[in-house]
Amino acid sequence: MLEEEYQLDYFKEQGMVRKICRSCGSAFWTRDSAREICGDAPCEPYNFIGEPVFKTHNLDTMREAYLSFFEKQGHTRIERYPVAARWRDDIYLTIASIADFQPFVTSGIVPPPANPLTISQPCIRLNDLDSVGRSGRHLTTFEMMAHHAFNTPSEEIYWKDRTVELCDQFIASIGGDLNKVTFKESPWIGGGNAGPSVEVLIGGLEIATLVFMSLGRKKTDQPGYDLKGEMYYPMKLRIVDTGYGLERLVWASKGSPTIYDAVFPEMVSHVMGAAGLSHMLDNKDYTRILSLNAKFAGLMDISGTNLFQLRKKVAAAIDISPEKLDRIITPMEKVYATVDHTRCLAYMLGDCIVPSNVREGYLARLVIRRTLRMLTDLRIDEPLADLIEQQTRIIGMKKFEQDISVVREIAERETEKYASTLERGTRIVQKIAKTYKAKSQRVPLSEIITLYDSHGIQPEMIKDIATKEGAVVDLPDNFYSMVADMHSESKKEAEVDTKAKYDERVQGLPPTKKLYYEQSSDIEFEAVVLDFFDGYAVTDQTLFYPEGGGQPADTGTMVSAESMVRVDDVIKVGEVILHHISGGILQRGDRVKGMVDEERRWSLMRHHTATHIILHAAKEVLGAHIHQAGAQKGAESSRMDLRHFKHITPDELRRIETAANRLIMANQQVEISTEDRTRAEQKYGFSLYQGGVPPGRDLRIVKVAGDIEACAGTHCRSTGEVGVIKIIRVEHIQDGIERIEFTAGIAAIYYMQHLEQIVTSSAEALSVQPDNLPATVNRFFSEWKDQKKEIERMSSKVVELEMQSLVAESMDGISVVIKRVDLPQKELAQLASSVSENGGIALLAGVGETVRVVLASGDSRVNAGEIIGQVCSLLGGKGGGKPTMAQGGGPDVGQIDLALKVGRERIIAALQE
């Protein structure tokens, strides 16, 4: 990035100078002309530890200081967004304040909720999970405080100078000494955008980043910049994207040894107490160790083997052995990590993430299990649910949507679930360890990878258990990266966006007037064809609903003066609606009469309205946390996926169905209005976005029976028009997601008639009244089982009887039975083996549809497996088995006597060898 980007008037007015760091060579601005170091790690240590650089604040007071400062400076305060980024499909968790405004606001499609604005956004980043607790500064959850300004060609809010000035003023307002502040030039690239940026440093700590997002990947007529091999071009929209670390500011204001002691002191001392560690912060030696540890950690990246390096350095500085240091500090690190993780979970679960094995649910489970392991290591009995609840109380109950009792239940269920996984894992490992011990081999790496990958057993745990069993396990240092390598082999195919290719064609066309919203019960309209290409007709207005929001497109016909065509698909590209037609063509300028297939449209509207009703009913029955995780409406049936942490029981399902139908019978008006996005979000909350986040300045708000959503679909005018809802089934799609399949209106009637038909025909088949069907079926099944057993008893009787009638001949002192016995294979085998058990030999053949042959040998000279093959080949079949017992058969019934004769000869021959 060009140097002149940083030549701000503000810097110059303030008498600041641009210097080059003696240590790292980066450029930075400072008021202190004697300064030679940029102020960033690793060039400068954390010298604020023990020497706070701001007036003391806790999280709440610092946040308020920040937000109210920027409010006074003309910014509008915006409520935080959830930590689960449900409005985005590229990330699961909110990772920065700017993430709230991506992609619609930052791309200029949607205006920001306010401009300029200020916000304190809780963010979760799990990429440095290993460092949390150890480094003294890493957190999974932090609040990114920000002031954002969105500059357009027509409206300039403020840009670099004012941003830096505001930053200075804020730092001064919390007691920071501006002479100690440095601004380090640090060009920023990320997520397809780029721009100049400065890091704001004080006391060795980076407390904020001021990003001036002004470049994008999209080519414009202005000259571009080559940044790390990619071209970036100036954008129309220039965004001030700042990020101030709330926790870091609090840390710097307290100067405590670690960030953890600064931001959640109550929880740290609580967890230390629970772990039986005396509160070490009262002990000066411990504080010194912690401070040193944090200072050194600040200077290095401590992932993997670097941890040992850190220990060595700190140990050398305080003159104890690294091992002793490790014993002192490891429990502390686990306490810190536990406190951090439980806070993270308070946010995750409080913001309605349901733990599961996919998507953000997996991330929640990952954190839960890490925490449970640490609680075990620290020998803390206190339930995870209690710790999360305390964190929730500290943050503030009111900040969360999810009910605390549900959060607790989820935590308890997850704890149990993990316990049973561990139990199962232990058994599997013991088994495998025994196997390899018996073979006196080491447990191979492939087994360990399978155990981890498929059963979720941590390698360290495998080693512990296997060692107890006496088996040898080698664990490579790079175990996890080996597993990762294995996974990276599978690649994703890029999705082809069919709509994208019409983008340009459509740009010259006016937005299509959407009649289906105003006149949702009409089916006929007139329009003028504005364009026709690729089988798609664009008209000035339409009643045809385009595919969207899980609702399929309408179908119907269009009639012009010359032709009549079928409309078989309708899509929306931007604000223009494209009708795909077949059976003819239309021309630009044609006047057409459109007719929507009435029954289909009504069915879709009923199903769509029913989706809202069921969602509301499910909330009533299952709890306020119920969220839609996806939905597909159809003309015959529809389905809706719900986020829920346990199986929906048949009884709950019936209650949902009943509640839904009561809502229909209440026949309330469906209210549809257009409201300002920001106001709607504040009024109704983010539960508006059940089916994703629609773009645009305004939202179309649909209220159905107490359910309020931003929804673009077509709906009935009142709940009564839905007619009836019949739930077909509930399926468990994944951990944490239940799918309800249902049908509405006439389709529901057809479905119930179909069910009735099934019952009637089943009852007829058994000649009973439908009411008696369950009892009769049960009776039949148990009778069938009884008879099966009876047959078994009988056949063993038959075997016994046959045994008595078998005449054994003696060959070479061995009793041999060769006979045709017409019994099924199983009985023949029983019969034969009872002969061979006494050292004899039995060759038995029975005729059913084909010939079945069994040869059992109690004499080592006679190999049953070899002889049976020759016998069976005479019968036109094959056979085989073990030396002691062989079975086979063939289709040539007529050859049975010959086959037995040959068998006899072979047995005699074998005995004489």
Least distance from C-beta 859 to RNA, angstroms?
15
Least distance from C-beta 147 to RNA, angstroms?
30
Residues contributing to the site for RNA (CB under 7 A): 357-359, 362, 365-366, 369, 417-418, 421, 424, 427-428, 431, 450, 452-456, 480, 483-484, 487, 490, 492, 647, 731-732, 735, 785, 789, 826, 829-830, 833, 836-837, 850, 856, 872, 877-882, 885-890
3-state secondary structure of 818: strand
Least distance from C-beta 460 to RNA, angstroms?
13
Query: Cα separation of 390 and 388, whole Å?
Result: 5
Least distance from C-beta 686 to RNA, angstroms?
21
Residue 525: CB partners within 8 Å, gap ≥ 6? 515, 519, 541, 542, 543, 593, 594
Beta strands at 536-539 and 182-185: parallel, antiparallel or unpaired: unpaired
Q: Which is nearer to RNA, 24 or 366 (CB)?
A: 366
E strand or H helix that includes residue 149: strand 141-151
Q: Which is nearer to RNA, 752 or 791 (CB)?
A: 791
Least distance from C-beta 59 to RNA, angstroms?
29
Least distance from C-beta 548 to RNA, angstroms?
18
Q: Which is nearer to RNA, 671 or 731 (CB)?
A: 731
Q: Which is nearer to RNA, 36 or 453 (CB)?
A: 453
Which of 246, 197, 192, 308 lies closest to 64, judged by CA?
246
Least distance from C-beta 333 to RNA, angstroms?
20
Residue 277: CB partners within 8 Å, gap ≥ 6? 331, 332, 335
Which of 744, 641, 637, 617 lies closest to 692, judged by CA?
641
Q: Tokens representing 77?
A: 């305060």
Least distance from C-beta 209 to RNA, angstroms?
23
Least distance from C-beta 776 to RNA, angstroms?
16
Query: Cα separation of 217 and 215, whole Å?
Result: 7
3-state secondary structure of 211: strand
- Which DSSP string corresponds to 237-251? EEEEEEEEEHHHHHH
Quick check: 539 and 546 in contact, CB under 8 A? no
Q: Evaluate the omega torsion of the peptide bond into residue 45 and state whether it is cis, within 30 degrees of 0.
A: no
* CB neighbours of residue 371 within 10 Å: 26
Query: Cα separation of 711 and 377, whole Å?
Result: 49
Query: Cα separation of 862 and 36, whole Å?
Result: 95
Q: Which is nearer to RNA, 731 or 822 (CB)?
A: 731
Quick check: 697 and 629 in contact, CB under 8 A? no
Radius of gyration of the chain (CA): 38
Q: Which is nearer to RNA, 306 or 796 (CB)?
A: 796
3-state secondary structure of 749: helix
Q: Which is nearer to RNA, 492 or 754 (CB)?
A: 492
* Amino acid type, 586: L
Beta strands at 814-820 and 841-847: parallel, antiparallel or unpaired: parallel
Least distance from C-beta 369 to RNA, angstroms?
6
Quick check: 380 and 339 in contact, CB under 8 A? no
Q: Which is nearer to RNA, 171 or 856 (CB)?
A: 856
Q: Which is nearer to RNA, 266 or 792 (CB)?
A: 792
Least distance from C-beta 748 to RNA, angstroms?
23
Q: Which is nearer to RNA, 367 or 747 (CB)?
A: 367
Least distance from C-beta 855 to RNA, angstroms?
10
By CB atoms closer than 10 A (0-12, 13-18, 19+), residue 607 is: buried
Query: Rounded to whole angstroms, what are the CA distances from 906 to 843, 862, 902?
Result: 11, 9, 6
SS3 content of the chain, % helix, strand, coil (to 5): 45, 25, 35
Query: Cα separation of 803 and 474, whole Å?
Result: 58
- Separation of first and last alpha carbons in the chain: 94
Task: Give Cα 330 to chain centroid, integer Å.
Answer: 31
Q: Which is nearer to RNA, 581 or 868 (CB)?
A: 868
Least distance from C-beta 721 to RNA, angstroms?
32
Quick check: 217 and 231 in contact, CB under 8 A? yes
Q: Which is nearer to RNA, 105 or 367 (CB)?
A: 367
Q: Tokens representing 796?
A: 């063993």
Q: Which is nearer to RNA, 490 or 767 (CB)?
A: 490
Least distance from C-beta 438 to RNA, angstroms?
12
Q: Which is nearer to RNA, 526 or 837 (CB)?
A: 837
